[in-house]
Amino acid sequence: MSFDYKSAGVDVDAGNEVVQRIAPVAKATQDDRVLGALGGFAAAYRLPEVPEPVLVSATDGVGTKLLLALQCDQHDTIGIDLVAMVANDLVADGATPLYFLDYLATDALEPALVETIVRGIAYGCSQAGMALIGGETAEMPGMYPQHHYDLAGFAVGLASAGKLLPQGVQAGDVLIGLPSSGVHSNGFSLVRRLLAETNLGNTPLSDGTEIRTALLTPTRIYAKTVLPLIQAGLVHGAAHITGGGFDDNVPRMLPKTLAAAFDTASWSWPELFQRLQAAGNLSLATMRRTFNLGIGMVLAVRAADVAQVLAAAPHSRVIGTVEARTAEAVVWR
């Protein structure tokens, strides 16, 4: 009996087809700072000139939201989620996203499916203003269940040392919340359990949107809204409300002596979060530490700059203030 790589489950020709399919998709996100073509051993990027340059890097995945996408056979937006999770982290540190690389691992390559996923990644990169310059598609039979895949993303951003965040957060600063597009990409292990064990998915939202469709809405990317505010010196600190919700993420932009005091009356949770809480009888503490509750990013700004920031960030709102810390880093009133 004769063996070869394909009989072991790895189709090299399918891998080459994937590269041919995604090369023009990636090319559309690139500018003249990208050196070389997709398919090389590594990717090269010519850095812009900025004073006191600092490279900022981030990596993340999509988590078990992938399992819901697989269940619903919806793969065209999960790549946006992947880019958003990384790009928003770079923005929260005051960095301009430059370039992105993806890692897609699966049991068996399906070139058309990979192309669909990468098109979503490329669209996310365009929203974040960065180039998709490379990545890896790994076919690993036996490592994943049939038709399953996993995604990871890696990005590099650039900032001037003097623009890195947080910087200058102080008592009296105002907290401005930027709206999320939904659940984004966190809390899905809990979400999937609620879908499986409660009536969460049985009734659409009041606007007719099916619950699973609403849950798969891609994560909002904040780069084009927030970066101009940072460059204008209007932002002291930014917190991406991702895994850990408000309680774990907002303190990351605060000095140890300060706390974030949120006004619970300043915004109403979108219906989707209300439905999640009701389905699982979830406590306020669980909601605040698991989900973004309709606010995907929080900015700390001077009181004198609030009007300018609100005007530049559509649908944003004042949701609290920074104050001296007496006990907890996050206070709800």
The CATH number assigned to the domain holding 94 equals 3.30.1330.10
Nearest to 250 by CA among 173, 181, 189: 173
Boundary-marking domain end, from 163, 194, 221: 163
Boundary-marking domain end, from 163, 183, 200: 163
Residues 143 and 253 in one domain: no
Residues 25 and 60 in one domain: yes
138: in domain? yes
pLDDT of residue 278: 97
pLDDT of residue 234: 97
Residue keyed to tokens 């650039």: 158
Residues 83 and 180 in one domain: no
Residues 206 and 232 in one domain: yes
Residues 157 and 180 in one domain: no
Digitized pLDDT (tens) for each residue of the chain, 333 residues in all: 666 656 556 666 666 776 777 777 778 888 888 987 776 788 899 999 999 999 999 999 999 999 999 999 999 999 999 999 999 999 999 999 999 999 999 999 888 999 999 999 999 999 999 999 999 999 898 888 988 999 999 999 999 999 999 999 999 999 999 999 999 999 999 999 999 999 999 999 999 999 999 999 999 999 999 999 999 999 999 999 999 999 999 999 999 999 999 999 999 999 999 999 999 999 999 999 999 999 999 999 999 999 999 999 999 999 999 999 998 999 999
pLDDT of residue 303: 97
Boundary-marking domain end, from 103, 132, 163: 163
Residues 130 and 220 in one domain: no
169: in domain? no
Q: What is the DSSP letter of 268?
A: P
pLDDT of residue 7: 58
Instruction: Print the domain residue range for 17.
Output: 6-163
pLDDT of residue 91: 98
pLDDT of residue 36: 77
d(CA 322, CA 174): 6
**What total of structural domains would you count in the chain?**
2
Cβ neighbour number for residue 279 with a 10 Å cutoff:
19
Tell me the two tokens of residue 319.
Answer: 């949701």
Residues 155 and 201 in one domain: no
Residues 184 and 114 in one domain: no
120: in domain? yes
pLDDT of residue 142: 87
Residues 93 and 225 in one domain: no
Residues 6+ apart with CB under 8 A from 219: 80, 81, 84, 85, 88, 180, 181, 184, 185, 296
Residues 225 and 278 in one domain: yes
Nearest to 55 by CA among 154, 129, 166, 156: 156
CATH number for the domain spanning 311: value is: 3.90.650.10
Residues 37 and 146 in one domain: yes
d(CA 171, CA 169): 7
pLDDT of residue 15: 64
Residues 126 and 146 in one domain: yes
1: in domain? no
d(CA 241, CA 318): 16
d(CA 241, CA 248): 9
